[in-house]
Amino acid sequence: MKIKYKIALYYTTSATLMLMIFAVLAYYFSSKSRKAEYLERLEYRARSIANVIIEDGHVKVDLLRKLDRTTFQDLYKEAILVYNPNYDLLYSNLKDTTIRTHRSLLDYITLNKSYSYEKGNGEVVGIYYTEGNVSVIVIVSSFDKYGYQNLTNLSQILLLELATAIIVLVGVGYFFARKMVEPIDKLVKEVDSINANNLQDRQVAVQGKDEIAKLAANFNTMLQRLSDSFDLQKSFVSNASHELRTPLASIISQLQVTLSKERNASEYQDVLNSVLEDAESLTDLTNGLLQLAQSEMKDQQFVFSNVRIDELLMDMANLIRLKQKESKIDIQFNKLPDNDLLVTCFGNDSLLKILFINLVDNACKFSRDNTAHISIDFYTQYIMVQVRDNGIGIPPDELNKIFEPFYRGQNVGKTRGHGLGLSICKKIIQIHKGHITVTSTPNEGTTFTVILPHML
């Protein structure tokens, strides 16, 4: 069932139930009011009769008969019974009818001075009336013809109004439900027209300040994030394809040229060395792509443990020296820790090694003397590691681009690389809830500052 039909159904059902409750309550209280009013009228009638028949200390039934023959009787199907304290019937307006009044009823009226009840053919009121030394019991019964007729008319009016109200509620409920769901229908149509080809050019119209407008705004934000992700993916695929194609094309062309005719041993050796260099470049690119893919994983997919940053830097320095024998790495503490936790980070050992290997390897690669200067410091809540080189530096207008995948500075020349290392470093830092910043002076050097939370 569509939402608009559900809204209309719920609205109509709830409103109908409320109207039915109000109608039942109106009928119930009207019935109670009719009964109370009529019993009060009968009691007044009984007291008036008792007051009329007692005169000068005597019960004058003849006067009541005379009045009864004229205008005294004005209630529908009225029955009047008058008894003396000995329960002798003094008067009755019922003719040709056997009169039976239970003695227990007369005892109750005598004891309690009044009595009233409702029976199938009307209401009954009895009173024990005393004036001077004379007492009488007067019982009056009657059927409230006009009161019950009014109740019947009221019930018919209520049923008619209820039926009319239900019909109106169905129409009104459907109208308002359609109006309420109209923005959602519009949103669905607009969303249905969005695909990967027009993602960048489409946005859902946002109007008002209600929940639907908020949903549309959030959807637009999601579209923007998806668009950025698609753009990044396209750029990544394009750059990765280009980077992979270049060494492969170089290898293929060199091999084709070499196989085109016989070569001597030294020429074959030169070609093999060149192919080996391109193959190593492919290996570096593949490793970089794997590391980048690994850094895109969620935090929950990594195993975290306590990692000593100083020990990790020492091990990493040895690995880089084995990889680049001409590299020099200088590691210094700005101040010595009095607690190992001050230089301990809760993180993933493998990712942190990739982080610092990339930074230190770049520093050695771009330094004029192949030296990377590393300083370790710690503060109240974090560890700070700075990696500095004395190389060519980074132009100021490129500082905000160096963490993008496949981006390489204009001044790197023929220095080997694919522009993946720093983007990997930034993602690893984000996984560890840290920060990385860079400062650089052209022709003087570049300093990368890594901040990681420690365990203390």
pLDDT above 60 for 300: no
Burial 106-122 (b: 16+ CB within 10 A, else e): beebbeeeebbeeeeeb
The mean pLDDT of the chain is: 81
The pLDDT tens digits for 199-251 are 666 666 666 677 777 777 777 777 777 776 676 566 556 556 655 666 677 78
Residue 320 in contact with residue 329, Cβ under 8 Å? yes
**To the nearest whole percent, how much of the chain has pLDDT over 90?**
20
The pLDDT tens digits for 389-411 are 988 888 888 888 888 776 666 55
Q: Whole-model pTM? A: 0.49
Strand partners, 79: 141
Q: Which residues contact 455 (CB under 8 A, 6 or more apart)?
A: 306, 341, 344, 345, 346
pLDDT above 60 for 369: yes
Report the first-to-last Cα separation within the chain, whole angstroms: 58
Question: What is d(CA 419, CA 250) in angstroms, rounded to the nearest whole number?
Answer: 19
